[in-house]
Structure 1
Amino acid sequence: MLWSASAGVALASDGPRPSTPVDWVNTFIGTGGTGAEYGGTMPFVSTPFGMTNWTAQTRQNRISVSSYEYDDRYIQGFIGTHQPAIWMGDYGYVTLMPEIGNINYAPEARRLPFTHKDETSTPYYYAVTMGTDAASRIHAQMTATDHAGYLRFTYPSGAKASVLVEATRPGIKGFISIDAARHEITGYNPDRMDAHLGPLALSHFKGYFVVRFKQPFAAAKVYEGVLTWPDRHDVQGNNVGAFATFDTRRDNTVDVQVGTSFISIAQARANLDAEMPNWNFDALRDALKATWNQKLGIATIEGASDDQRRIFYTGLYHALLYPKLFSEHGRYYSAFDDTVHDGTSYTAYSIWDIFRAENSLLTIFAPERINGMVQALLQDYREGGWMPKWPNPSYTNIMIGTHADSLVAEAISKGFKGFDWQLAYQAVYKDAMTPPDGDTTRRWFDREPHTPYEARAGLTYARQLGYIPADKISESASSTQEEAYDDYAVAQVAKAVGKTDDYRFFMQRSTSYRNLFNPRRGFMQARNADGSWASPDDGWTEGDQWVYLFAALHDVPGVVRLLGGPQAAAAKLDEHFNGGHNRHDNEPSHHYGYLYDYTGQPWKAQARVREIARDAYSDTVDGVLGNEDCGQMSAWYIFTAMGFYPLNPASAHYVIGSPLFTRVTLNLPNGKRFDITAANNSSQNVYIQSVTLNGQALDEPLISYAQIEAGGTLAFVMGPKPSHWAAHWHPQALP
């Protein structure tokens, strides 16, 4: 589908109405905004969970800078990137750029102007025409497979046409080689932009590539820095690359296929041979379109506006990009022991974000991936000693807690059996019981360079005091509460493997968040090692005392009791929302709208989640309120649109909100069908009057994963005024 721009807003073109789910995707949602606190997305051409994503490069990416920014007016190249989020770095990337006339190596010199009216952007195909006049305009197209990209460049007839292949940037030592007989340029890029954040030095890490051209070279050269080496076919050094020129007198189109690998150049070539065995661009594009339609088509919706359809299907597209495949046809390079293994692997788990809803969404839309994704985390544990917090592709020590525990527990609670449960328990038990190296000699600041693996920072103190002290460890109050939830997750794994005593131990320890409740103030508050209260402003992670009042996802009823009961808790939530304390642009607030279900006022949950969905999401380039964070922001919207949300993911249950559409049909991968209907639904009729599940009255605002997977119908009746549906629900603590 074509997209054009008007006043900074991405709008559908005047073409035919979309007829398939992928045609509703607006890849520009989240690509524009102010500063770094915007969606940070890119208009990727990629398979679902693809290892390498392809996008036009409007600026050189780095940590806090994405390759594509909607307001830019020049394209510097087309990059095969692995950058998963704006606040993470890229690694092992490769860039190509078509040029006319003299070869320019520097991005500022080689860039070409473009306008959005000359762009076509979809998940399966991207095209753009660059340049200022007929003699300089180049038409570029892209499609992709899991490990490879297919680029096609069309030049003015008779132009001196070249393709630049940039292996590394200034300061990065890489390698490039030309094989004219094979029409190939090969090389590697060892850059890991966030390597300084983790404890591991990976001497064997490289992003390998094979760039294969359909047309023979008229000439080809390698370069290093600003120097070309006309008599050499390869070069190793800083800022290296190559270019090939082509005779366009008979054919002004140059076809390029790029295989990528983290194993070797030979494996990059094998990936390319396996995934692009011939030069059929249209067939690959059509196959990728079919793949996206199959995945996005798991959900069909009725009663949505065009804007809502674009937000919904774009959200699914974003969610189905992560975690990223990191194995290559049965083998993978491990960024945890720096060697190659047999098996399947994934990376780019933004776990502090995605454990809340994104992972739960994948258990519904991509259950065939879950066993491999959990097994990948266990391989990381086996090869590196710990499950990671935020692999990219190795340890980065970003964010707090050990929420991989939640991903493991959720998979087990939902019945996934394709990984070693005993090994899983070893991994989560180590998280819960083993302090990191130097635990009491560091404050463990987030993104602190060159530290040991952090795991649960301050666990030594937590085991002694029942909380992490603010005068010893940074972000202590948030960590104490989030790790109480992690203990709940560990308890679920212990129960599943028959460790009854451990189950009881961790369930009891999961109540430790209560040690931070200050009854005089009515808030959670950091404490010092001597038991005294720290400043109310200390100890938080991307939040404050309002955001972290209800952080015990596993024990909301316990928090309600601490606050004085349902009525008092509801009043606190009213103050939270009315006082402007809800920050949906960041993940710790994502469950807040649903908390009213636990206070005897579910109609307020219904109104709040509708309000958030309306205000925080739009079909615009800045249509994601905060960073997309590997699908979490979108996962919230998709669940809310369906009418339920995984407030406690490890429990395998969902709390009820207010469905946005009159019908959502889930054509589940297991062959079953789950319908969510909402009679009388509208923007005014936000309140639930009644709910039935398969014809039986549902009297509590809760459904399970098992009920969804069994198929059936969840039927809402909506109205314009609050009802007493589920108002008398009395949830038990720690279900």
Structure 2
Amino acid sequence: MSRNILLIVFLSLTTVVHAQLWRSVNPLIGSEGEGRVFVGPAAPFGMVKPGPDCLTMPNAGWAPRPEMVKGFSQTHVSGTGGGQKYGNVLIQPFRRYESMTPQRVLLPDGKVGVVPCFLHHRTYEKVTLGKYSCRFEDGIGVDITTSARCALYRFRHADGLLVDAASFLGMDTIPNKRETQQYVASSISVSGQKEVSGSTTVRGGWNNGGPYTVFFCLQSSAPFVKSRLFGGRAASVWWGDSIVEVKVGISYVSVEQARRNIVAHDFNTQLRQLRQQWDETLARVPYEGNSRERRIFYTALYHTLLMPVDKTGECPRWSGTPYYDDFYALWDTYRTSMPLLMEYYPERATDIVLALLAIYRHEGYMPDARSGDCNGRTQGGTHADVVIAEAYSRGLKGIDYREALPAMLKDGDVPPADDEKEGRGGLREYIRLGYVPYGIPRAGTRTVEYSYDDWCIAQVAKGLGKHAIYNRYMRRSRSWQNLWRKDYEWRGMKGFILPRDARGRWLDSVEWGRSRIYRPKIAYRPDTKVAPWYIPWWDTFFYEGLSAEYSLSVPHDVPTLIQLCGGDSAFRRRLDTFFDEGHYNVGNEPSFLTPYLYSYIGRSDLSSRRVAEIVHRCFSDKADGLPGNDDSGAMSAWLLWAMLGRYPVAGQGKYITIDPVRFPEKAATSDNATSMVHFVLNRQYRNWPLSTRWQGDTLVVTCHDCTYRMPRRVVDHAQGFCWESPQKAGARYDAEGTFLFISRDALDSLQRTGSFVYDGITWRRVDGNGQRIHVRADVDGTEMWISTIGSLPWVTRMQGNRLGIDWQMDDC
């Protein structure tokens, strides 16, 4: 009897603990810095993600105070880089209508009109799982919660609401500007005394997708006492109550469907249901740890479960099958978050795979990325192939793999009409040459990843008894070796994946930039991004990584990689050098597997050590606690696996085990500047140690006999900051376009002729002496001061930079 009582008590306590898992989630972790996670309320894989949109228009809408809030839109993504997407159907509460700011906008009839805009400073803000709250300087209070397809608001002390049907993130008046969203059409109407409905059609954004339409239906708990329409774009409504609840149903099919998506219950009931749903969802992945560990772990799991988005029943083109959108992108998520879903949420993973196959049936290709119901953009390979191979290796049920194989073969055999949208770019050359040659964008990444994708296709074909297909694709899976330059030595390591042209020649130097006027060549090294700041990763040989990283990224053929590197001992030395010299970058996905590679030579202890070092250096429970874009939860899922003590080798249905990474209850104290060495500067300069400290809003970096002062804004923009010497004919920029060095050839031209040209921009001498030269750019008047002391032409000061980022180096 007593045992039964104890068992009942234990089960009750367990239920209480699980019911409170939502309290272990802090949605603000990863919201600042590079993480870019969505902070508003969201349901698991929810279609609606309501939250604040700030004037700076970050990808996820939110920015920390004191940035001003423009309003609250209903659709967002989480953790993404590149251009914005969504931010549709903006609502703006107002206290005094006359406080509005007139905003000139494009109306549906093509004319320019004026729509009111209400901007607010937040005096209070609180973010918890399922609920966002803030208070504005004029006394308006806002609470937000949500269901999967309906946002719920509670406004206090607001006189009314502006509903802007045509607002979205990343608005730009330049037609077809890359990665920006473009207005197509909108409609809006006020029905009766409590409803506003309409639609908005937008195109573009990060994936350069075609038009997508968001339908909405807004219902108010209080009757409108007055309303006003602004063409087909916006409407203002006034009410007389001091506390008003507003529900906004969203649909991608029709206004009627948006109306049906509105939940029947009130704000508090929906909040309780949402948190209960998250408790049940989070409890599927059990984890024991101290309070800080649980906060980090369950926040990471929460972020992993925000995308892709479940739009079943909301596809505007077909119905009858599970449908998911916002694969943003499989290039990121196939490595970590998709295996996590297959392990702990297999029914959800099955539906996602069925959605990929439905997209193939109706549109011709499975996506590598997709948003706004449009495929695109492909980044490297066709990684739906890896996802299906992972599902097959796990025996995931409910999937017709005989239907899946033709979809995979379409990726591997048929060149697409638009390889930015889907399929494989450079596929003809890859099949003919056995590699993608230099000159085709992302040729190195594509070769490596096509090889992996082909291996995954081969495994599914083998399992289905398709031996001819298996043999053909296994041969192709070795294509990465055709870019392995076995005689190339660098930093004591021999053999790298390096550029090769279509004639089979290895390229020791490549052009830097694409200017028609000035196209210097630089020596190609395994640690060099061969492009200036204005060339995106899309156009480089490797995507979001360098040769040193991709030369260790062959997950399907690690034994061959070890052999080519010289055996177990040489492979360990290579890994040690890679990590000890700071070439590892957890902030982007190509190196996710690398610290686990020690396990392939029987040294899982070293994998454990490296992973723990990375986690403790780069992750935390702070707002800037992610080292890179969360990328739809891919980064968070990498952290989850480290804390669970295993890592999935995607497409193979197996794990590498390590010691689980633990966090102390209390974070160790450290100087902010010390962390900046890791997050911003990332390495030493010419083997000189960097010491850093903050003086107010200025980061002071001391290096050898120089002191370098960077305002906080420079630090915030300086991702990818590089402190290494340029090659003889090269130059270095940071990620946002600020010179750090100029080339020696440019300095020679400046000293001889009084000017130099780079990428079509002419820089002319203003004045100077034997130690420092002052120059100015013709195009925008930006000024630089270049030190001529020593062999390296340092830029010691920049002023009038077009980004507003000025800085200077003192005491050199």
What is the DSSP-based 3-state SS (H/G/I as helix, E as strand, rest coil) of the residue aligned with 2:32?
Answer: coil
Q: 1:57 maps to what in 2?
A: 53
> CA RMSD of the aligned region, Å?
2.4
Q: 1:423 maps to what in 2?
A: 403
Please tell me whether the aligned partners of residues 376 and 422 of structure 2 are also in contact (alpha carbons under 8 angstroms).
no
Q: 2:320 maps to what in 1?
A: 342
Deviation at 1:454, TM superposition (A): 4.5
Q: 1:312 maps to what in 2?
A: 297
User: Residues of 2 paired with 1:516 and 1:375: CA distance?
Assistant: 35
2:106 paired with 1:99: no
Alpha carbons of 1:98 and 1:524: their partners in 2 closer, same or farther (altered >3 Å)?
same
One-letter code aligned to 1:436? P
Alpha carbons of 1:196 and 1:652: their partners in 2 closer, same or farther (altered >3 Å)?
closer
Alpha carbons of 1:321 and 1:529: their partners in 2 closer, same or farther (altered >3 Å)?
same
Q: 2:23 maps to what in 1?
A: 23
Q: 1:189 maps to what in 2?
A: 200
Q: 1:295 maps to what in 2?
A: 281
Q: Mapping of 1:112-123 within 5 angstroms?
A: 112-115=120-123, 118-123=124-129
Q: 1:692 maps to what in 2?
A: none
Please tell me whether the aligned partners of residues 263 and 340 of structure 1 are also in contact (alpha carbons under 8 angstroms).
no
Q: 2:677 maps to what in 1?
A: none
User: Residues of 2 paired with 1:60 and 1:187: CA distance?
Assistant: 26
For residue 436 of structure 1, the aligned residue among 416, 419, 425 is 416
What is the DSSP-based 3-state SS (H/G/I as helix, E as strand, rest coil) of the residue aligned with 1:322?
Answer: coil
One-letter code aligned to 1:96? I
User: Residues of 2 paired with 1:182 and 1:270: CA distance?
Assistant: 19
What is the DSSP-based 3-state SS (H/G/I as helix, E as strand, rest coil) of the residue aligned with 1:333?
Answer: coil
Please tell me whether the aligned partners of residues 454 and 474 of structure 2 are also in contact (alpha carbons under 8 angstroms).
yes
Deviation at 1:382, TM superposition (A): 1.3
Q: 1:649 maps to what in 2?
A: 650
Task: Render the CA deviation track for 1:381-402: whole Å, top value 9, x for unaligned.
Answer: 1111111111013122241110
TM-score between both structures, scaled by the size of structure 2: 0.69
User: Residues of 1 paired with 2:612 and 2:280: CA distance?
Assistant: 28
Deviation at 1:65, TM superposition (A): 3.8
Task: Render the CA deviation track for 1:490-548: whole Å, top value 9, x for unaligned.
Answer: 11221232212211221221111111111111211121111111244562111111110
Higher Rg of the two aligned structures: 2
Please tell me whether the aligned partners of residues 359 and 407 of structure 1 are also in contact (alpha carbons under 8 angstroms).
yes
Deviation at 1:423, TM superposition (A): 1.9
Alpha carbons of 1:78 and 1:53: their partners in 2 closer, same or farther (altered >3 Å)?
same
Please tell me whether the aligned partners of residues 215 and 253 of structure 2 are also in contact (alpha carbons under 8 angstroms).
yes
User: Residues of 1 paired with 2:432 and 2:95: CA distance?
Assistant: 68
For residue 165 of structure 1, the aligned residue among 139, 163, 166 is 163
2:362 paired with 1:364: no
Q: 2:603 maps to what in 1?
A: 601
Q: Mapping of 1:239-638 within 5 angstroms?
A: 240-248=233-241, 252-272=242-262, 276-278=263-265, 280-304=266-290, 306-327=291-312, 331-334=313-316, 339-349=317-327, 350-393=329-372, 394-437=374-417, 453-471=421-439, 473-521=440-488, 522-535=495-508, 536-537=524-525, 539-638=541-640
User: Residues of 1 paired with 2:121 and 2:633: CA distance?
Assistant: 31
Task: Render the CA deviation track for 1:243-286: whole Å, top value 9, x for unaligned.
Answer: 110113xxx111100000000111111111xxx123x2111100
For residue 46 of structure 1, the aligned residue among 24, 42, 46 is 42
What is the DSSP-based 3-state SS (H/G/I as helix, E as strand, rest coil) of the residue aligned with 1:636?
Answer: helix
User: Residues of 2 paired with 1:400 and 1:51: CA distance?
Assistant: 27
Q: 1:140 maps to what in 2?
A: 142
Alpha carbons of 1:454 and 1:283: their partners in 2 closer, same or farther (altered >3 Å)?
closer
Alpha carbons of 1:110 and 1:53: their partners in 2 closer, same or farther (altered >3 Å)?
same
Please tell me whether the aligned partners of residues 207 and 371 of structure 2 are also in contact (alpha carbons under 8 angstroms).
no
2:82 paired with 1:87: yes
Please tell me whether the aligned partners of residues 302 and 661 of structure 1 are also in contact (alpha carbons under 8 angstroms).
no
One-letter code aligned to 2:438? A
Q: 2:224 maps to what in 1?
A: 217
User: Residues of 1 paired with 2:378 and 2:416: CA distance?
Assistant: 14
Deviation at 1:364, TM superposition (A): 2.2
Task: Render the CA deviation track for 1:172-225: whole Å, top value 9, x for unaligned.
Answer: 253343334251100111113428725xx44xx3100000111110001111xx
Greater relative contact order (Cα < 8 A, sep 6+): 1
Task: Render the CA deviation track for 1:642-701: whole Å, top value 9, x for unaligned.
Answer: 10001x2111001012212499xxxxxxxxxxxxxxxxxx99xxxxxxxxxxxxxxxxxx
Deviation at 1:486, TM superposition (A): 0.3
User: Residues of 1 paired with 2:292 and 2:603: CA distance?
Assistant: 30
Matched pairs, number: 586
User: Residues of 1 paired with 2:343 and 2:48: CA distance?
Assistant: 24
Please tell me whether the aligned partners of residues 59 and 77 of structure 2 are also in contact (alpha carbons under 8 angstroms).
no
Deviation at 1:308, TM superposition (A): 2.6
For residue 124 of structure 1, the aligned residue among 130, 144, 165 is 130
User: Residues of 2 paired with 1:496 and 1:68: CA distance?
Assistant: 47
One-letter code aligned to 2:218? V
Alpha carbons of 1:174 and 1:470: their partners in 2 closer, same or farther (altered >3 Å)?
same
Please tell me whether the aligned partners of residues 45 and 53 of structure 1 are also in contact (alpha carbons under 8 angstroms).
yes
What is the DSSP-based 3-state SS (H/G/I as helix, E as strand, rest coil) of the residue aligned with 1:417?
Answer: coil
User: Residues of 2 paired with 1:91 and 1:499: CA distance?
Assistant: 43
Task: Render the CA deviation track for 1:421-472: whole Å, top value 9, x for unaligned.
Answer: 222111100101112238xxxxx7xxxxxx6x4411111111111111113x
What is the DSSP-based 3-state SS (H/G/I as helix, E as strand, rest coil) of the residue aligned with 2:50?
Answer: strand
User: Residues of 1 paired with 2:348 and 2:19: CA distance?
Assistant: 28
Please tell me whether the aligned partners of residues 326 and 369 of structure 2 are also in contact (alpha carbons under 8 angstroms).
yes
Deviation at 1:43, TM superposition (A): 0.4
User: Residues of 2 paired with 1:410 and 1:593: CA distance?
Assistant: 21
User: Residues of 2 paired with 1:195 and 1:605: CA distance?
Assistant: 35
Q: 1:731 maps to what in 2?
A: none
Task: Render the CA deviation track for 1:93-150: whole Å, top value 9, x for unaligned.
Answer: 11112111116365895121114xx22212211111112xxxx301111111111101
Task: Render the CA deviation track for 1:540-593: whole Å, top value 9, x for unaligned.
Answer: 111111110111111111100111111111110011001110001111011111
Q: Mapping of 1:710-721 within 5 angstroms?
A: none
User: Residues of 1 paired with 2:117 and 2:360: CA distance?
Assistant: 45
TM-score between both structures, scaled by the size of structure 1: 0.76
Q: 1:32 maps to what in 2?
A: 32
What is the DSSP-based 3-state SS (H/G/I as helix, E as strand, rest coil) of the residue aligned with 2:578?
Answer: helix
Structure 2 unmatched ranges of 5 or more? 1-16, 104-115, 174-182, 489-494, 509-523, 531-540, 669-812
Per mean C-alpha deviation after superposition, the further-off stretch among 522-531 and 80-89 is 80-89
Q: 1:74 maps to what in 2?
A: 68
Please tell me whether the aligned partners of residues 371 and 418 of structure 1 are also in contact (alpha carbons under 8 angstroms).
yes
User: Residues of 1 paired with 2:542 and 2:570: CA distance?
Assistant: 24
Deviation at 1:417, TM superposition (A): 2.5
User: Residues of 1 paired with 2:625 and 2:454: CA distance?
Assistant: 35
Task: Render the CA deviation track for 1:283-329: whole Å, top value 9, x for unaligned.
Answer: 1100000011111122343343x3332221110110011111122xx
Deviation at 1:57, TM superposition (A): 1.9
Please tell me whether the aligned partners of residues 91 and 207 of structure 1 are also in contact (alpha carbons under 8 angstroms).
no
